[in-house]
């Protein structure tokens, strides 16, 4: 889906993205032009409303181009999953603008007090990817004495972005903390993911949330893993003359190792996609999907992500000293892969 010139622009800016901690205006324009933050937004609001398999393909391709770019596409488009759960007037206002993109957190680390007409919310939420350019934010907070959890949509002027994203990978994602101090949120700008409030959703919006999330982050890891193999091959070819000298023939031994790991990862990825395609067909046909089938899909996603990490780890020690230099592409890809695979949805049991 990505044009060759777009791929070149994104990759040419990979180091700049890492150093600046966010994507450039030029890359943001590509994201908006291709509606990469609107994969699950209704077409009448300027979205693309893709199926889950189609969207996973986009996440995987974007992540293969560049890890931070792919992560931001995945997180930003994932915000569209909230569209049917927000009252329609606000959902349309928030998601329809061409530059619309959501940043936020699902962890309930805020407190909301019920007041006349809405809520007064205070809190801090970590790891809000895309915070530097988000047009609105969402976060969860505990409400009142019963400690129930509700979701809130905040406007940029209500949010302070604390630039504290200092991870060793995915440095260009701007995954900063957001702070909100006694912000008023009207009742009709609050929501709960168990309570649809409009009819703008599609089949993806009724797909179980945890399998959706695991699949999305697994697709990112798969894409970054594919990029790792691509860069490892390039690095090996660049060193072919030196590595082919001597009886050990380092070039051939590394080539064999790469092919072994590629086959191993391809098998895990194929299993993940096959299970996902079958599950999606049943879901869209209205068939009952058992917990066993969902768990199988979740396991396949986690396995594919873990296989990508294991494959990269088994190879990087054989790729020479340039692989340990933070300025090298292979090192950046390896760091991005480890950071993406750290997400709770890929590590929880």
Q: Is the distance from CB of 196 to CB of 127 less than 8 angstroms?
A: no
Residue 108, classed as helix, strand or coil, is strand
Could you tell me the strand order of the sheet in which 160-162 lies? 160-162, 176-186, 118-128, 102-115, 136-143, 148-154, 190-191
Q: Is residue 245's pLDDT more than 90? A: no
pLDDT tens for 253-295 read 999 999 999 999 999 999 999 999 999 999 999 999 999 999 9
49-52 long-range CB contacts below 8 Å, 24 or more apart?
A: 49/202, 49/204, 50/204, 51/203, 51/204, 51/280, 51/284, 52/203, 52/204, 52/207, 52/212, 52/215, 52/276, 52/280
Residues 31, 270, 303, 288, Cα dihedral to 10°: 90
Instruction: Report d(CA 227, CA 237) in Å as an integer.
Output: 15
DSSP per residue, 196-245: --SS---GGGGS-HHHHHHHHHHHHHHHHHHHHHHHHHHHHHHTHHHHT-
Query: Predicted confidence band at 147 (pLDDT cuts at 50, 70, 90)?
Result: confident
Percent of the chain past pLDDT 70, that is, above it, reads 100
Residue in 220, 239, 218 with CA at minimum distance from that of residue 306: 218
Q: Kindly state the percentage of the chain with pLDDT values over 90.
A: 93
- The token pair that represents 115 in the structure block: 């007041």
Give 8's contacts (C-beta < 8 A, 6+ positions apart).
none
Q: Answer yes or no: are the C-beta atoms of 299 and 291 closer than 8 Å.
A: no
- What is the C-alpha separation between 175 and 164, in angstroms, rounded? 8
For each of the domains in the chain, give its residue range(s) and CATH number, in order of start: 4-83 (1.10.540.10), 100-191 (2.40.110.10), 207-347 (1.20.140.10)
Q: Is the pLDDT of residue 193 over 90?
A: no
Q: What is the pLDDT of residues 29-41, one digit of tens each?
A: 999 999 999 999 9
First-to-final CA distance of the chain: 34
Question: What pLDDT score does 242 carry?
Answer: 86
Query: Is 142:111 a contact under the CB 8 Å cutoff?
Result: yes
Averaged over 88-92, what is the pLDDT? 96
Query: Residue 202: which of 32, 44, 2 has the closest Cα?
Result: 44
DSSP string spanning 127-166?
A: EETTGGG-SEEEEEEEETTTTEEEEEEE-GGG-EEE----
Mean pLDDT to the nearest integer, 325-345: 97
According to the model, what pLDDT value does residue 1 have? 81
pLDDT digits (tens, 9 = 90+) for 214-228: 999 999 999 999 999
Closest CA to 340 of 296, 299, 313, 309: 309
Q: Residues 272, 43, 30, 129: is their CA dihedral positive or negative?
A: negative
């Amino acid at each position: 889906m990505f044009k060759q010139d777009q791929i070149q622009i994104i990759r040419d800016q990979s180091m700049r993205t890492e150093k600046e901690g966010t994507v450039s205006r030029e890359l943001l324009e590509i994201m908006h032009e291709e509606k990469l933050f609107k994969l699950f937004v209704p077409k009448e609001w300027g979205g693309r409303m893709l199926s889950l398999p189609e969207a996973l393909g986009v996440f995987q391709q974007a992540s293969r181009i560049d890890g931070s770019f792919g992560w931001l596409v995945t997180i930003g488009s994932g915000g569209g999953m909230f569209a049917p759960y927000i009252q329609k007037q606000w959902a349309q206002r928030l998601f329809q603008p061409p530059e619309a993109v959501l940043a936020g957190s699902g962890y309930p680390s805020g407190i909301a007090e019920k007041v006349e007409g809405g809520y007064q919310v205070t809190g801090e939420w970590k790891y809000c990817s895309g915070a530097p350019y988000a047009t609105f934010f969402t976060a969860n907070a505990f409400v009142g004495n019963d400690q129930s959890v509700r979701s809130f949509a905040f406007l940029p002027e209500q949010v302070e972005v604390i630039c504290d994203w200092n991870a060793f990978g995915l440095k260009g994602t701007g995954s900063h903390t957001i702070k909100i101090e006694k912000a008023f949120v009207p009742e009709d700008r609050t929501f709960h993911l168990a309570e649809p409030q409009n009819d703008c959703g599609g089949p993806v919006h009724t797909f179980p949330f945890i399998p959706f999330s695991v699949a999305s982050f697994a697709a990112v890891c798969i894409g970054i893993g594919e990029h790792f193999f691509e860069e490892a091959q390039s690095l090996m070819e660049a060193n072919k003359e030196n590595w082919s000298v001597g009886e050990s023939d380092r070039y051939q031994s590394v080539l064999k190792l790469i092919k072994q790991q590629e086959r191993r990862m391809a098998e895990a990825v194929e299993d993940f996609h096959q299970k996902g395609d079958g599950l999606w067909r049943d879901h869209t046909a209205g068939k009952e999907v058992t917990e066993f089938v969902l768990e199988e899909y979740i396991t396949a996603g986690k396995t594919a992500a873990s296989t990508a990490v294991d494959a990269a780890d088994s190879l990087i020690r054989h790729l020479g000293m340039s692989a340990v230099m933070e300025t090298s592409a292979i090192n950046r890809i390896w760091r991005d892969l480890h950071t993406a695979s750290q997400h709770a949805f890929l590590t929880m049991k």
